[in-house]
């Protein structure tokens, strides 16, 4: 009997689709993935509907939306909603050995047999950060161990490039930048340094005296290129082990990243396209036709049912909110989902509705960027989302609000639970604090001090889950 296919699942944290040469970016940031994905199927319009990390990965690994998972916030307490099964849990029931690298303790990562960690942070003081090489140092031995076993395996990688801090090692620091990042006449980072909630964090990893926003953006691109080169080591090892023809390889991300857009500096909050847009590619020789691209709008909840369908795994009647994309990849049709509900619960608490032309964003409490409580963008006329037309188009605001509210009521009825975003009033993790009453309060309360503080935040989340 032929062994069931293996699964190498590469989840790349904070990777926005439009900074990849795979999707037409003018800088050659992903040469390996460009070539590797060319023999598989690439999806051009995949979105993470519920950001940030915890909710994004929960959608990806369960096949459910936020109503199905019950997970909407970064600092989610507890686990998935009752009755939800995760990818590793389903595969374990089908005889798989499952390993997870770099995602210990997060509620979204429930169900793996083995959890392995690696050093995934850095600071200017500590020097250039070798995050992707650190991941490889853990992953390659684990891949060899799994390959030597008799059971099919799932190896899930949570890549921390290009998550901040952006400190790619040489030569990637200068590969996309040849200017002078210390030019005192350049004032492009002034507003960034003036943003009190994050400025201390930026000072901990920006070069001392850095003035040029383009340097920091080039570091993000350098991180993507560095990550791409390190992923090539893993896929080459897969080939060396003789597993390439028997392994489904998936590439995607939990969410994108905001660089200097919308003054949501170098992080992943704000329900704008740069944060919602993620890559998605599948490669499995003989099962998925190579050299194919698809423009259908899909979201992360579609990933799990697709993976199971490709691998021939019977989900055993387990309900999922997502659709399998395999029929579309093999010449069939796909039920379209052109509009969808979006949520954010990172450093702000918002939800909205996205259609192919319009995006509505509604704040559930004031945010620390002093944005309008209601935002409306015409994505066709204004793809960069620079012109909030909510005041000019009250009829469209009402129409989209009604659509969103009707959908929320429908999902509440189907799941028997209130909308998670509405109940997530302690999303900020500040003990004894409820919703912010003003943007001033949010601005003066929310703060991340340095990279050590970011590590402590993740460590605290991990401890809560143990």
What is d(CA 53, CA 160) in angstroms, rounded to the nearest whole number? Answer: 11
pLDDT recorded at residue 455: 52
pLDDT recorded at residue 3: 78
pLDDT recorded at residue 457: 47
Domain spans, the chain? 6-338, 340-455
pLDDT tens for residues 34-47?
A: 999 999 999 999 99
What b-and-e string marks burial along 8-19, b requiring 16 or more CB atoms within 10 Å of the CB?
bbbbbbbbbbeb
Q: 53: exposed, middle or buried (C-beta count within 10 Å: 0-12, 13-18, 19+)?
A: buried
pLDDT recorded at residue 100: 97
- The CATH class for the domain spanning 340-455 reads alpha beta
- The alpha carbon of 78 is separated from its chain's Cα centroid by a whole number of angstroms, namely 20
* Pairing mode, strands 349-354 and 340-345: antiparallel
pLDDT recorded at residue 59: 98
What is d(CA 464, CA 466) in angstroms, rounded to the nearest whole number? Answer: 6
* Pairing mode, strands 247-252 and 6-12: parallel
pLDDT recorded at residue 450: 59
What b-and-e string marks burial along 437-466, b requiring 16 or more CB atoms within 10 Å of the CB?
eebeebbeebebebbeebeeebeebbeebe
Tell me which residues of the chain have a pLDDT lower than 70.
Answer: 1-2, 450-466
CB 372 within 8 A of CB 390: yes
CATH number of 6-338: 3.40.720.10
């Amino acid at each position: 009997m032929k062994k069931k296919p293996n699964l190498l699942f590469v989840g790349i944290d904070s990777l926005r689709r439009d900074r990849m040469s795979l999707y037409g970016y003018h800088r050659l940031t992903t040469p390996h993935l460009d070539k590797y994905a060319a023999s598989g199927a690439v999806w051009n319009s995949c979105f993470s509907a519920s950001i940030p990390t915890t909710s994004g990965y929960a959608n990806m690994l369960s096949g459910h939306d936020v109503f199905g998972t019950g997970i909407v916030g970064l600092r989610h307490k507890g686990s998935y909603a009752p009755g939800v099964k995760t990818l590793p849990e389903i595969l374990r029931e089908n005889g798989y050995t499952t390993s997870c690298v770099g995602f210990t303790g997060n509620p979204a990562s429930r169900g793996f047999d083995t959890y392995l960690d690696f050093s995934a942070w850095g600071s200017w003081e500590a020097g250039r950060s070798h995050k992707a090489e650190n991941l490889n140092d853990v992953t390659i031995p684990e891949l060899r161990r799994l390959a030597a076993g008799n059971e099919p395996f799932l190896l899930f990688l949570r890549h921390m490039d290009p998550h901040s801090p952006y400190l790619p090692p040489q030569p990637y620091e200068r590969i996309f930048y040849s200017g002078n990042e210390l030019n005192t006449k350049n004032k492009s980072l002034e507003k960034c340094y003036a943003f009190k909630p994050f400025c201390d964090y930026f000072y901990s990893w920006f070069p001392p005296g850095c003035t040029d926003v383009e340097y920091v953006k080039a570091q993000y691109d350098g991180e993507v290129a560095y990550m791409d080169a390190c992923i090539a080591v893993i896929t080459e090892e897969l080939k060396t082990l003789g597993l390439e023809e028997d392994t489904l390889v998936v590439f995607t991300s939990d969410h994108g990243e905001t660089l200097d857009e919308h003054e949501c500096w170098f992080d992943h909050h704000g329900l704008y396209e740069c944060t919602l847009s993620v890559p998605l590619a599948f490669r499995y020789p003989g099962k998925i036709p190579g050299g194919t691209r698809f423009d259908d709008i899909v979201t992360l909840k579609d990933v799990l049912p697709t993976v199971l369908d490709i691998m021939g795994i019977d989900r055993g009647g387990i309900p999922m909110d997502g659709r399998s994309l395999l029929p579309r990849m093999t010449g069939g049709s796909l039920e379209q989902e052109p509009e969808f509900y979006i949520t954010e619960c990172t450093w702000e608490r918002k939800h909205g509705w996205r259609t192919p032309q319009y995006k509505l964003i509604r704040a559930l409490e004031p945010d620390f960027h002093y944005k309008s409580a209601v935002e409306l963008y015409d994505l066709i006329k204004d793809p960069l989302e620079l012109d909030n037309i909510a005041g000019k188009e009250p009829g469209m605001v009402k129409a989209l609000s009604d659509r969103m509210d009707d959908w929320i009521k429908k999902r509440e009825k189907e799941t028997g639970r209130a909308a998670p975003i509405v109940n997530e009033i302690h999303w900020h993790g500040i003990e004894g604090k409820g919703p912010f009453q003003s943007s001033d309060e949010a601005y003066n309360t929310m703060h991340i001090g340095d990279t050590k503080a970011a590590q402590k935040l993740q460590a605290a989340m991990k401890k809560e889950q143990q």
